[in-house]
Amino acid sequence: MTADQSRWIFAAQLMKLHGTNVGRHIMDQIEDRTLAGDDDGVTFWLAIADMVVKLTRPDEGSRPQ
């Protein structure tokens, strides 16, 4: 499994675990990493945030007919 695939799985699991609060959880993680000066951690959580958005709002052409 690639690192990218692992991140997609992680994003999906976060959604399942945190439900409608997943956005707040991700924002808390980004804030914590920012305050700690952890640029790699911030980058990771921003990528996860983007994946969660894509999982919850797929592009128009990706929906089954």
Residue 18 is assigned to a structural domain of this protein:
yes
Residue 61 is assigned to a structural domain of this protein:
no
Residue 24 is assigned to a structural domain of this protein:
yes
List, for residues 32-44, the tens digit of each pLDDT value.
999 999 999 999 9
Residue 62 is assigned to a structural domain of this protein:
no
What value does the mean pLDDT take over residues 1-11?
A: 94
Number of separate domains in the chain: 1
Q: What is the pLDDT of residue 57?
A: 82
| Average pLDDT value for the chain | 91
Of the chain, the percentage scoring pLDDT greater than 70 comes to: 88
Residue 28 is assigned to a structural domain of this protein:
yes
In 3D, which of 42, 39, 7 has the Cα closest to residue 26? 42
Residue 17 is assigned to a structural domain of this protein:
yes
pLDDT of 50 strictly over 60: yes
Residue 49 is assigned to a structural domain of this protein:
yes
The domain containing residue 43 runs over which residues? 3-56
Whether 8 and 51 have beta carbons less than 8 Å apart is answered as yes
Query: What confidence category does residue 63 fall into, taking pLDDT thresholds of 50, 70 and 90?
Result: low
